[in-house]
Structure 1
Amino acid sequence: MCRIFGHFDAEATPHELKSVAALQRHGGPDAQTQAAGAGWALGNNRLAIMDLDGGDQPYRLGEDIVAVFNGEIYNHQELRDRLSAKGHRFADTCDGSVIPALYAEYGMRFPEQLDGMYSVALVDLRDEPTLVLATDDVGMKPLYYHWEASSRHLYFSSELPALLSFRNVTARPWDAGLDAYLATKTPFGEQTMFEGISVLPPAATARVTLSAGLHITRREVTRAAGTPADEAEATQQVRDRLRDEVHRLTLADVPVATITSGGLDSSLVTALAAEKVPGLHTFNIAYRGTWPSDERAFAREVAERCGTRYHQIELDPASFPSLLSDVVWHLGQPNADPITLSTYALFASVRDAGFKVALTGDAADELFGGYDRIRKAVSAPFGTDWVTPYVDALAAVPKSLRESLYSPEYRAFVSASGSSSDLIAEHLRAASGDTLEVLTDFEIGSRLPAYHLRRVDHLSMSASVEVRLPFCQPSVVQHARSLPRDLKIAPGKGKKVLYSAAEGLLPDSVLNRPKQPFTLPITAMLRPGQPLMDFARDALSADRLRSRGQLDPQRVDALFETQASAPNDQAAMAIWSLMVHELWLEQFCGPPASMTAGERTLEGQK
């Protein structure tokens, strides 16, 4: 696991490259290396997980093929054996060392041979100098880039703050970003919140040359053939595939732990990992005091049932304002899910306990129809509009409320350019096929990488912890896609076959409990007298919002009045989301230009 960066057909001083590396050192503290030539450079920050004494990057094949890599390749031994039979030799057994030889044999098709999570950057100097970038099928390892089409310059990095340290990459907010963010909690697709900065999509291979410029192709993701004969067969297949992947993903040359929220998905991963790892350690996070939706009792039950060593991490809500700045910085762009705070603190505790690898249950809801919005859409009577409520359920702030919060000028801009929610609705209505299939494609292809996977990647790597995701493995994804609707969604409940697969492995209390989101209880925490409420009021002051020009200060103030007199989830989420957005602007773009020096105190107060 690493962080990577570089440029192609461009210029960067050694100081710039060192600055980029330094800004990603948390994600690769074990080694910082780079290689450079005329008009190109590749760099790497290493978090040593496999072959701790080997694995030096950049990897080379002769002098003409140079590569850096972020992630884990789980089938590297199989690939090494295949390539060795073709005459290739390897200096170590690290997973990424197979990449140059694999590219030499398969060319632009080399990512099709990889089983794992990865982003790869490779320079081929044999003919016309060529840069190749590639991402895994689900998008577990993000890669951000800035492409200057006129000059054919490209800069890339695993994290946005590092990319912005190249002097030719500017932190300029994307005008439509606020609406996109509030419509989906973080921007979906290839556009980031910064103008001119994109993220390579999942299953993508990019080729860059001076003569042809940048060309990105999307690999077709394989789908499983056929469907199970009945529910019993489907249950057994899900359990077997997940068990195989969990067991395989526990292999590392460093200690491995699991994260257990107390819900089905992470608990099942923990139960299966405990079969393979003696004395497995598992971690749960909760909040000091008494708050709604506390799941620690369920997580502890799972640990007792599976015989794991349980770690209870308690986070003091009074520390939230001081944590927010770091969380927003590591993410690089706003994510409105309050769980970001807990995630950041949790992985810091995992690393403090001596663990560099943790398995999680992320992506099960997307694969097996676990979200209420999916179940409601699939169950909607024929001929009714399921798209509008589904799209509104994605939002941090429902469309009618967020548009009322905009300034007249920004509201006119959104109306003229088109809202993000309208674009998503158009896409869903134009898609053909079964409703569940359409939604699964959208959840996995658009929402999962943007909303979940980037958040998990950035916040775990902020603490130098590699997260492994069994539900994102190809065998599990393909099988889940092949399952018919009635094996995923039952009346009033999703993930039907996954619950069946967990029977006998987890306590009945976990299997029979109502589903609840793993998140921060912000409605209770955003109340008068709470530290978070005072911090939010300072961040969203009328003068600050007036200077930004996108929000109506009076309407935002009315949100605070509502939350103070009649606290509710909608108002609390709106306040939280707007606060995070303002902190992001402050961090990366600076305070509003029209504010005086005395007013520019938000960052200094944190």
Structure 2
Amino acid sequence: MCRIYGTFNVRSEEAELRRVSDLMHHGGPDAQSFAHRADWALGNNRLSIMDPEGGAQPYRLGRVTVVFNGEIYNHQELRERLTGLGFHFDDHCDGSILPALYTTYGERFPEHLDGMYSVAVMDLRSVPRMVLATDDAGMKPLYYHWEGNAGRLHFASELPALLGFAGVPAEEDETGLDAYLTSKTPFGDRTMFRGVRVLPPAATVVVDHRDGLRIKHRPMAHEQGLRPAAGRTLEESGTQLRDLLSREVSRLLVADAPVAAVTSGGLDSSLVTALAAQAFRASEGAGSLHTFNVAYTGTWPSDERAYAAEVARSVGARHHQVEIDPATFPDLMTDVVRHLGQPNADPITLSTFSLFRAVRDAGFKVALTGDAADELFGGYSRMTQAVAAAHGEDWAGAYLDHLAAVPRALRESLYTDEYAASVRTAEPAVPADVPQTLRLDLGTRLRRITAVEQRYRLPAYHLRRVDHLSMASSVEVRLPFCQPSVTRFAATLSDSHKLVPGQGVKRALYRAAEGLVPRSVLERPKQPFTLPITAMLVPGQRLWTLAQDALDPATLRADGRIRPERVAALFAEQAARPDDTVALALWSLMSHQLWRQEFFGAAGARLPLTAAAPVLQEAA
């Protein structure tokens, strides 16, 4: 696991590369290196997980140079295949096979990878070209700035690092606020910075001097024409899914560093925990699995610590209970905003950041989680409501409003006339493909919704958050539910094996968990794993004071996009009658203002992105 960065058709000085590297030092503290020539550069910060003594980057084979972030789970199989073709490898690190794989298959090399990754290749064998690739789920993001007229490319694994390049301006996309409030973080390839984009999942990019930058989209699992298996019973689906997940969890436990599991107390993480504990027991000398759960000091709604502890006891794991004091939230908000690089309206960000910091403090560099199961197997209430909606109802519009940080009607009441006018003429807040996918009669409602969840919401809103906030503490998160075999299997399930209104959600997954997960977890109502902000965002709490300071009327008036009197009305309403919708609206607006302060300063000026540089070793 690493952080990568680089340039094409750009002259990069060593000092600049060191600055960019330093801004991601937390994601790769074990080694830093780069390769650069007159008009290109590739850099890497390494978090050593596989073969710590080998795997030094950049990798080279002749005139091909590669840097890599992630894990390749089928690297041994690929190494054997490539050895048979005459290639030789000096170590057993997973990324070491990439130059030979690229030399053999060219830009189609990602089709042979099973894992989570972002890869950058500099190919100087004939016409110089750079090739970038992201994994099929979007687990390892890559941000870039492309100057089409000049043919210049900068890229990095994190936004603050990308902005550390002198050629990448830090300018706010002012209509990004609307995109953020519409979907809790920008969807598609959009970011909150003007001219800065993020590669979508399953993308291969080729850049050269002749044709510029071209993005090729590889088909994701739900786009491969897979159809429900005929005649398969729910019981059979559950059994097959359990066996599949058991194999994948066992594969993802292989590491040359300590591995733990995150256990929220819900179905998804509990099943991953149970399967991981089972694999630990089967592995001689592996010891006990360690599990981690996060909760908050005091008594708050939706506390899941008892369920998580019960799961850990039932599988014989050594359990770690992490507690966050709400009094520390203001300081945490600053750290979270900086590491994310742009606002994410889910309050779980504070929990996620604190949890992985505790995981690393306990000595673990790898953690398995249950993320992405809801998107694959139909676990959200918004999905059930859309499927259950009567014919003729605007179920698609209602579904999209469920994705919002602030519902449409409330958003429109918050905007000033000037900002509302600019939003109407700007790039759509939600990519045009999203409503088209939902409304075109291509498959069932649930299959259309699942397609949107997997291509847009999961990578933008969920996976980037997990990646940035875990790597902030030098922890690699592995996600069994994002494995290609699992996403393909989910695409072969019938709707009735996912959700049936009135009968349940994630039905095949519940069947898979029977006998492995305690009945108390299987029979409890589903609840989101998040911060209870409705209870915390009230007068007398630290969050209330922080929100009022961030959303000061003078600040909003100077910004000119949000009506101060409407925000004051939200504060009054929340103080009198705490409400989920109002609390999330205030939280989202506060998070946006804190992001602006972090990256642009109180007056909107760019903040210096500098820090003490680590010692870097230039690759020979």
Under TM normalisation by the shorter chain, which class is it?
A: over 0.9
Match of 1:347 in 2: 356
Per the TM alignment, residue 171 of structure 1 is displaced from its structure 2 partner at its CA by 1.1
Assess if the C-alpha contact under 8 Å between 1:392 and 1:421 holds in 2: no
Per the TM alignment, residue 407 of structure 1 is displaced from its structure 2 partner at its CA by 1.2
Is residue 425 from structure 1 mapped to residue 435 from structure 2 by the alignment?
A: yes
Match of 2:465 in 1: 455
Is residue 51 from structure 1 mapped to residue 60 from structure 2 by the alignment?
A: no
Counterpart among 444, 450, 453 of residue 440 in structure 1:
450
Match of 2:40 in 1: 40
Is residue 213 from structure 1 mapped to residue 207 from structure 2 by the alignment?
A: no
Is residue 239 from structure 1 mapped to residue 250 from structure 2 by the alignment?
A: no
Per the TM alignment, residue 38 of structure 1 is displaced from its structure 2 partner at its CA by 2.1
Per the TM alignment, residue 414 of structure 1 is displaced from its structure 2 partner at its CA by 1.7
Per the TM alignment, residue 383 of structure 1 is displaced from its structure 2 partner at its CA by 2.7
Is residue 31 from structure 1 mapped to residue 42 from structure 2 by the alignment?
A: no
Q: What secondary structure sits across from 1:417 in the alignment?
A: coil
Which amino acid letter does the alignment assign opposite residue 485 of structure 2?
Answer: S
Per the TM alignment, residue 181 of structure 1 is displaced from its structure 2 partner at its CA by 0.3
Which amino acid letter does the alignment assign opposite residue 295 of structure 1?
Answer: E
Equivalence map 1:276-291=2 (5 Å)? 276-277=279-280, 278-291=287-300
Equivalence map 1:57-456=2 (5 Å)? 57-62=57-62, 64-222=63-221, 223=224, 224=226, 227=229, 229-277=232-280, 278-417=287-426, 420=429, 423=432, 424-430=434-440, 432-456=442-466
CA distance, structure 1, for counterparts of residue 173 and residue 218 of structure 2: 28
Of residues 166-175 and 366-375 in structure 1, the stretch that sits farther from structure 2 once superposed is 166-175
Assess if the C-alpha contact under 8 Å between 1:391 and 1:421 holds in 2: no
Assess if the C-alpha contact under 8 Å between 1:255 and 1:355 holds in 2: yes
Q: 1:427 to 1:418 in 2, by over 3 A?
A: farther
CA distance, structure 2, for counterparts of residue 575 and residue 94 of structure 1: 46
Per the TM alignment, residue 427 of structure 1 is displaced from its structure 2 partner at its CA by 4.5
Match of 2:616 in 1: none
Which amino acid letter does the alignment assign opposite residue 173 of structure 2?
Answer: W
Alpha-carbon RMSD across the aligned residues, in angstroms, is: 1.3
Deviations 1:461-491 (A, max 9, x none): 0000000000000111000011011111133
Is residue 566 from structure 1 mapped to residue 566 from structure 2 by the alignment?
A: no
Q: What secondary structure sits across from 1:370 in the alignment?
A: coil
Counterpart among 600, 604, 618 of residue 589 in structure 1:
600
Q: What secondary structure sits across from 1:100 in the alignment?
A: helix
CA distance, structure 1, for counterparts of residue 114 and residue 330 of structure 2: 40
Equivalence map 1:550-565=2 (5 Å)? 550-565=561-576
Assess if the C-alpha contact under 8 Å between 1:179 and 1:419 holds in 2: no
What is the percent sequence identity of the aligned residues? 61
Per the TM alignment, residue 225 of structure 1 is displaced from its structure 2 partner at its CA by 5.9
In structure 1, stretches of 5+ residues that fail to align are 595-606
Of residues 191-200 and 426-435 in structure 1, the stretch that sits farther from structure 2 once superposed is 426-435
Q: What secondary structure sits across from 2:3 in the alignment?
A: strand
Assess if the C-alpha contact under 8 Å between 1:559 and 1:575 holds in 2: yes
Per the TM alignment, residue 430 of structure 1 is displaced from its structure 2 partner at its CA by 3.4
Match of 2:283 in 1: none
Which amino acid letter does the alignment assign opposite residue 348 of structure 1?
Answer: R
Assess if the C-alpha contact under 8 Å between 1:343 and 1:460 holds in 2: yes
CA distance, structure 1, for counterparts of residue 399 and residue 370 of structure 2: 23
Of residues 143-152 and 230-239 in structure 1, the stretch that sits farther from structure 2 once superposed is 230-239
Assess if the C-alpha contact under 8 Å between 2:356 and 2:475 holds in 1: yes
CA distance, structure 2, for counterparts of residue 39 and residue 469 of structure 1: 37
Which amino acid letter does the alignment assign opposite residue 384 of structure 2?
Answer: R
Per the TM alignment, residue 564 of structure 1 is displaced from its structure 2 partner at its CA by 1.1
Q: What secondary structure sits across from 2:425 in the alignment?
A: helix
CA distance, structure 2, for counterparts of residue 422 and residue 271 of structure 1: 38
Of residues 482-491 and 454-463 in structure 1, the stretch that sits farther from structure 2 once superposed is 482-491
Match of 1:599 in 2: none
Deviations 1:366-405 (A, max 9, x none): 0000000011111212232211111110011100001111
Of residues 333-342 and 419-428 in structure 1, the stretch that sits farther from structure 2 once superposed is 419-428
Which amino acid letter does the alignment assign opposite residue 149 of structure 1?
Answer: G
Per the TM alignment, residue 567 of structure 1 is displaced from its structure 2 partner at its CA by 1.1
Assess if the C-alpha contact under 8 Å between 1:184 and 1:395 holds in 2: yes
Deviations 1:248-273 (A, max 9, x none): 10000111000000000000000000
Q: What secondary structure sits across from 1:82 in the alignment?
A: helix
CA distance, structure 1, for counterparts of residue 429 and residue 441 of structure 2: 17
Instruction: Return the TM-score normalized by structure 1.
Output: 0.96
Counterpart among 541, 556, 561 of residue 530 in structure 1:
541
Instruction: Return the TM-score normalized by structure 2.
Output: 0.94
Which amino acid letter does the alignment assign opposite residue 277 of structure 2?
Answer: A
Question: With CA pairs under 8 Å and 6+ residues apart, which has the higher RCO, 1 or 2?
Answer: 2
CA distance, structure 2, for counterparts of residue 42 and residue 551 of structure 1: 41
Match of 2:22 in 1: 22
Assess if the C-alpha contact under 8 Å between 1:488 and 1:497 holds in 2: yes
Assess if the C-alpha contact under 8 Å between 2:68 and 2:95 holds in 1: yes
In structure 2, stretches of 5+ residues that fail to align are 281-286, 606-620
